[in-house]
Structures are given as C-alpha cells and as structure tokens.
Structure 1
Amino acid sequence: MTRFHSFCLFAAVLLVLACGPVRAADFRSVGSASVVLYDAPSSKSGKRHVAPPGMPVEILARYGAWVKVRDIDGDMAWTEAKGLSARRTVVVRAVQARVRAAADDTAAILMTADKGVLLELVDPQAGDWVRVRHQDGIGGFVRAVEVWGI
C-alpha cells in the first residue's frame, strides 16, 4: 500500500469516527432555496446534484456544519445543515395516494396525489396514517406506507 493510500484510509477512518450517530429517522426538508448535494462534507468536493426546495431528506450523520443525507431513492450525499428546514414534507411513493378526510379507509377521498408529489407533514406523529396538506391547501390523512419522509 502506498503512502497516499494509507493516508486516504486514515482520513476516511477519522471522518467516520468524527461523524456522530444521529437518532434513527431524523428527517428534514430542503429550505426555501435549493441546496447542492456533494460527495463529501466540503464545497470543494464533487457536486452530485441540486436538491429542490421542499425535498425531504433523512439525516444520517453530522460533521461540523455539514450533514450526510439520504433521499427517497436511497442516494446519500453531503450538504450544509443551514440549507435544511425543520418544516417537514413527505413525498408520495405510491402510484397514487388517496388523501382522506379522516384516518380511515372508508373516509371520503379529498384528493389523490401521484407518485413524486410533495405534501406538507402537518403532524409528525406517525402511525398507520399521517396528516398532510397539499400546496393547494387541501389537507387530510394518507396511509404512512404511501409516503416517504417520516
């Protein structure tokens, strides 16, 4: 193993040790402005893509002012924590999610949301159902298994 490879391995181990564990299922949403997602916790590292406002992400680790996040597809990247918001959103992962008037399969359907639609999470206490609101103002309940971000 060359000196360079030894140094890289040592640096990687230090980074892993420095990243404290975060409680399971710690979700945030991208704030009002888009954020850049990077390969490493540095704006000098490779840019992966730009995350749009409102996109939910799961925080996996923290390193100073940076957080390692996972998106709905399971892709992981780093971004600055200041670009995330405590306002919670979820994204529909079912082909169509039915937003109902009550947390019951027999309740009236207020709207259907297609796969990929962002919904505001009104009540973060998740059970089998979660309370959500669409950007048009329609609010109701959707099955938790039909959305991602809780």
Structure 2
Amino acid sequence: MLRRLVAVTAMLAGLYALPAQALEFRSVKETGVALYEAPALSAKKLFVVSRYYPVEVLSSQKEWSRVRDATGGIAWIPHAALSSQRWLLVTADQAVVRDSPAADGKPVFSVARDGVLQWQEAPKDGWVRIKHRDGSTGFARISDLWGL
C-alpha cells in the first residue's frame, strides 16, 4: 500500500513539474475556407474565413484541426487549410504601428479592427514586430492584437 502511495505521489509530482504548454496559432492559407461543426466535410458549415485569418489550434485528429477564433468560437477546419505562417488579428478599433516599440515611437501606419498583420518576432515588453501585406513594418501593442 505504501509503495503504491509513493508511486502515485511521484507521478503527480512529475505532472506538476511539466512546463506549461505553449499555445499554437496558425493562419488560414486561402480565402473562403469553411469552418465546420464537426471534423467532416458533410458536417454543418458554421462560417467562412478569409486568407491570413488566425486561429488557435486546440487539437488535431487525422486531417482535421479543432480551432478557436478571436471571438472564442470553436470549430473544425481541414488541417491542410492551415499555414504555419503567423498572422495577427487587430482587435482594437485601430492599431497604430510605430517605428519603435514604445508609445512615443513615430506612427508609421494604422490598421482598423479585423485587419491582419504578419507576425515577425516574439513580443517583448508589450510590443510585437509586425509586417503589413504591403511590406510596411513596425511595432504594435500586443493588447491591440489577437493570435500571439
């Protein structure tokens, strides 16, 4: 009995020692991809998303990924429709992109809500380096974006 208790305690201690699992974000590869209620093309289509739209991958099975969008909605998408290239969704009314990662940095351009920006580098001190589809680059506040 004591041996079993020690084994269970050691196993539980090992679980608590595991590192936190990082979130996995992907972006939709092409325009007009449907998200489904279940992992099958015959399942009910919930909505259609455009190219670059970011989603959080919750799990995968065979050719399907269960994903969450910026609104918290959960759906299934064919795994082949996802890209590993990271895009971020603007969730603020407007994201001001600056030339440096600071509130007093010079504004370079801005992007309205639901626009997308390509992720360039890991966030640091509340800012992330991004790139617009037109090639412009700069830094945006992470609080204005979803998909990190």
**What TM-score range do you get, normalising by the shorter chain?**
0.7 to 0.9
Any runs of at least 4 consecutive aligned residues in structure 1 with deviations exceeding 6 A, and if so which?
A: none
- The answer to whether the Cα contact below 8 Å between 1:99 and 1:142 also exists between their aligned partners in 2 is yes
Instruction: Tell me the equivalent position of 1:68.
Output: 66
Q: Aligned partners of 2:94, 2:50: CA distance in 1, in Å?
A: 22
Q: Percent identity?
A: 35
Which secondary structure state, in structure 2, belongs to the residue aligned with residue 82 of structure 1? helix
Q: Which residue of the other structure, out of 126, 137, 140, is the alignment partner of 2:123?
A: 126
Pairing 1:14-93 to 2, within 5 Å after superposition: 23-93=21-91
Amino acid of the residue matched to residue 27 of structure 1? Answer: F
Unaligned runs of 5+ in 2: 1-20
Unaligned runs of 5+ in 1: 1-22
TM-score for both structures, normalised by structure 1: 0.80
Q: Aligned partners of 1:73, 1:116: CA distance in 2, in Å?
A: 11
Amino acid of the residue matched to residue 83 of structure 1? Answer: A
How many residue pairs end up in the alignment? 127
TM-score for both structures, normalised by structure 2: 0.81
Structure with larger Rg:
2
Q: Aligned partners of 2:73, 2:22: CA distance in 1, in Å?
A: 17
- CA-based RMSD of the aligned residues comes to 1.1
The structure carrying a bigger strand percent of its residues is 1
- The answer to whether the Cα contact below 8 Å between 1:33 and 1:83 also exists between their aligned partners in 2 is no
